[in-house]
Structure 1
Amino acid sequence: MLVHGIGRSLEDWQDAQDRLATTFRVVNVDLPGFGLTPKLRAKPGLPTFARAVVGVLDALGEHRPVHLMGNSLGGAVAMTVATTWPDRVASLVLVNSAGFGREANLPLRPMLYGVLSVLPVVGARFRPLAKEAGLRLNQALFADPAFATDERVRHAAKVGRQPDFRATFVGTLLSLGLPVVGSRAGWRRALLAAVVSAGKPALVVWGDRDTVLPVKHFHAAVAALPGVRSHLFPDTGHMPQIERVEEFTALAADFVTGVAVP
């Protein structure tokens, strides 16, 4: 099961999904309020998103333990599922995952421009700024900005115009402690302790040129999770599942194949 990051959508996993689906059953989801999916009544945050992930599995009638793969916020969601419903999770693949450090360079300026661009009277003045900021934001996710294709930038703008996007984005930031104090230590400590206690097999991968969650978070994850497998991709940004899709899917497939599932 594949889970995307904050403000993003299931399309971030599309290339990896297509490759993994040649061998595995793959479920790829939008978190509620992101992508093109409406929000839930509950406040956005890790508990709500984790319940939504389990809800999708229930709706599909999939009750076998799953291999959860999460990118960025999706990694913290995956860990929350694994510690709240341990019988539903076989392993974790954490891809540039939130939860291992305070720093998080998030797209606040593009969001502000996006809000201003839809206002009456003044909105037209901010639309060019919003478009340019959106392009720069998408380019910053990759070591190679060419991966910020026109199609990806257009889709990101479409996601940003989804009616529930802004409320979900802001609510998620506030639930994690961002942007005022950085990612709060309290929820990170509690979640990490629960993950260690759960003892799920885990693979941590990162891009060494991640400008959103810096590479020192990778080293923190490796140090914190006993027995974890790890891989650091060179010349790679925040989304190895896109920028290094062939290497990533081979690595992930080898890992999950080796996990004994009850």
Structure 2
Amino acid sequence: MSAADATYLDVDGAPVRVRVSGPASGPPVLLLHGIGRSLEDWQPAHDLLARDHRVISMDLPGFGLTRRVKARPARPGHPRLAAFARAAIGVLDALDERRPAYLLGNSLGGAVAMTVAVAHPERVAGLVLLSSAGFGREANVSVLPMTYAVLAAAPVVGKRFRPRARRAGVQVNRDLFFDPSHATEEMIRHAGTVGRQPDFRATFIGTALSLGVPLLGTYPGWRRRLLTALAEARVPTLVVWGDTDTVLPARHFHAAMAALPHARGHLFPETGHLPQIERAGELTALAAEFIRTTSDRRPVA
């Protein structure tokens, strides 16, 4: 599953893993993955969109195969979204992409995309938010696979926990989909590779705790501030969800449509947390139509 044509860009002195495809003259599209994931989550949609668009996927710093950028820890209620947003803008700058881009963000990546749109509205032509963080308190992100992975790496007792780490990782990937067959062996192996990266645990835990508290849910403050600013900015937005999402439930879709009354919306039936994989063809058709009908924003001076 690992993208063979991915490469690294220098972004503010640090290497960031990216994948760039499609005609250089096509509308620019930046794809942002969720917490603990990688650009591989976008691979089917990336390939389809690249027929007519300049498509850029990236590993957010500390996730995928990109190392974490050292920075001050975020205070509770002040998530690390700004750092991820700076990295996204840095990737566009490193590619000399100065046209307003369409940002497609899944889960955490949706909150990052919204943060970019609020901080740099001149760089954003539109947003496509897929099962995006930021629209509700619930966030069912399991830390069990990480716990088992830590134990599996421990001396003496590690061997005993390796089968449990494997089973937990398989189940977490299957739970992302309505149809668990989408959690292929290749995907599970790649997730294991990502989870063993040096910065993964610190980035995952730090990001999760900056967004909220386990069992109690996400903090309301950052969500309220972000959504208020985004609603005022009126950036063209398409909200997409799966009706069987177990990570960020589908009631968040209805909350998103209420918070962003200017937005378009689409709820996929029998679809989980990764519609860009489970509904790749339909999702990219929706996104392409959205881009076609909102592509009249002027380029950055």
The two structures have a TM-score, normalised by structure 2, of 0.86
The aligned counterpart of 2:46 is: 17
* Distance in structure 2 (CA, Å) of the matches to 1:145 and 1:180: 25
The aligned counterpart of 1:132 is: 167
Other structure's SS at 1:129 match: helix
* Distance in structure 1 (CA, Å) of the matches to 2:98 and 2:157: 51
Which of the residues 274, 280, 283 maps onto 1:248? 283
Are 2:203 and 1:168 equivalent residues in the alignment?
yes
Are 2:244 and 1:209 equivalent residues in the alignment?
yes
For structure 1, the 5+ residue unaligned runs are none
> Per residue, is there more strand in 1 or in 2?
2
* Distance in structure 1 (CA, Å) of the matches to 2:213 and 2:174: 22
The aligned counterpart of 1:235 is: 270
Are 2:127 and 1:98 equivalent residues in the alignment?
no
**One-letter code aligned to 1:70:** G
* Distance in structure 1 (CA, Å) of the matches to 2:250 and 2:175: 15
The aligned counterpart of 1:179 is: 214
The aligned counterpart of 1:39 is: 68
Are 2:235 and 1:200 equivalent residues in the alignment?
yes
* Distance in structure 2 (CA, Å) of the matches to 1:20 and 1:88: 20
**One-letter code aligned to 2:65:** L
Residue 180 of structure 1, CA deviation: 5.2
Other structure's SS at 1:94 match: strand
* Distance in structure 1 (CA, Å) of the matches to 2:270 and 2:154: 39
Other structure's SS at 2:189 match: helix
Residue 178 of structure 1, CA deviation: 3.0
For structure 2, the 5+ residue unaligned runs are 1-29, 75-79
Are 2:138 and 1:109 equivalent residues in the alignment?
no
Other structure's SS at 1:27 match: strand
Other structure's SS at 1:26 match: strand
Note if contact 2:85-2:113 (Cα within 8 Å) is conserved in structure 1: yes
Paired residue total? 262
The aligned counterpart of 1:30 is: 59
* Distance in structure 2 (CA, Å) of the matches to 1:141 and 1:178: 21
Other structure's SS at 2:222 match: helix
* Distance in structure 2 (CA, Å) of the matches to 1:198 and 1:237: 29
Deviations 1:209-250 (A, max 9, x none): 000000000000011102211000000000000000000000
**One-letter code aligned to 2:108:** L
Are 2:154 and 1:152 equivalent residues in the alignment?
no
Residue 181 of structure 1, CA deviation: 2.7
Other structure's SS at 1:169 match: helix
* Distance in structure 2 (CA, Å) of the matches to 1:142 and 1:180: 22
Deviations 1:6-63 (A, max 9, x none): 0000000011000000000011000000001100012471011000000111111111
Residue 206 of structure 1, CA deviation: 0.2
C-alpha root-mean-square deviation of aligned residues, in Å? Answer: 0.9
**One-letter code aligned to 2:202:** A
* Of 68-77 and 222-231, the range deviating more from structure 2: 222-231
The aligned counterpart of 2:297 is: 261
**One-letter code aligned to 1:129:** R
